Amino acid sequence: MTTTESQPAPGDLTRGDDLAGKVAVVTGAAAGIGRAVALVLARSGLRLALCDRDAEGLDRIAAEIMSDGGDVLCGVLDVRDATALDAFFDDVASRFERLSVLVNNAGGTFGAAFLDCSAKGEQALIAENFTSVTHCIRRAARLMAAGGSIINITSSEAHRAAPGVAIYAAMKAAVASLTKSLALELADARIRVNCIAPDRIPTAGEDAVAAQLVQPDMDLPWHPQPWPDGGDVSDAASAVLFLAGAGSRFITGTTLHLDGGNWAASGWKRHHSGGYVL
């Protein structure tokens, strides 16, 4: 690991300007949460290395960032491909030499009962949602200095039952557990490791899975979360910006639940007519 940067001290500015000029890797950056994260980091002055298997989506976000004067490196790849990931991180090291932030955003699933999920499908889910994360962390941590931040995007499904997406949920839970262990292992290097667990954040990927699992004609009398307003990809991007910067210098090994209160509710449901039931 490099040691060219210093750990932020107590009382440092926490507006995000401490990130200007630093380098961030964002996986799955072509759309949804990854795209929102990349844009907010670029607007905060970070130089970016973005990867996704969607070449057209990457081209669009790269053009947007560069039109605002940003510096961006793109890699078209599938995070399940270890060789491609290694080549991407080699390019990051060659171009930028060091790294301050890693956002493990890439992931996904499909709706299927556990007994209907084939061994091949299970391995694909493990590779996309867990193995790719461990691979990225090993490569990124070696480029990080003191003050580095690793942010893993997990899911509310890491913390509750998830019928129809059981393997996906198990892998997200594994990432949450890994995050706690690595927060301790990397503490001496002054590298923080945290999770963000979104729920009810509309994206094309989430909508596609929901369509497989939920009947479209269901007229549920419940709000999707206790908080009366819905979540947005910008909420996830703001959470990433906070965990990336000096304002979160004493936070490591934790999960930020971006869910409108669902984790706290633990089964309580908010009725449209008002009040809660269990």
Catalytic positions: 168
Burial of 5 (0-12, 13-18, 19+ CB in 10 A): middle
Q: Compute CA distances 211 → 110, 155, 259, 262, whole Å.
A: 10, 18, 20, 21
Widest pairwise Cα distance in the chain? 58
Neighbours of 122 (CB within 10 A): 17
**Which of 9, 24, 250 lies closest to 143 in space, CA to CA?**
24
Strands of the sheet containing 99-104, edge to edge, are 72-76, 47-52, 23-27, 99-104, 144-153, 192-198, 255-258
Q: What do you get for the CA distance between the two ends of the chain, in Å?
A: 49
Q: Report residue 240 as tokens.
A: 């990433």
* 115 Cα distance to chain centroid: 28
State the Cα–Cα distance between residues 121 and 107, nearest whole angstrom: 14
Phi-psi region of 46 (alpha: psi -120 to 50; beta: other; left: phi over 0): beta
Q: Compute CA distances 68 → 61, 141, 233, whole Å.
A: 11, 29, 21
Dihedral angle sign, alpha carbons of residues 104, 109, 113, 117: negative
State the Cα–Cα distance between residues 192 and 278, nearest whole angstrom: 37
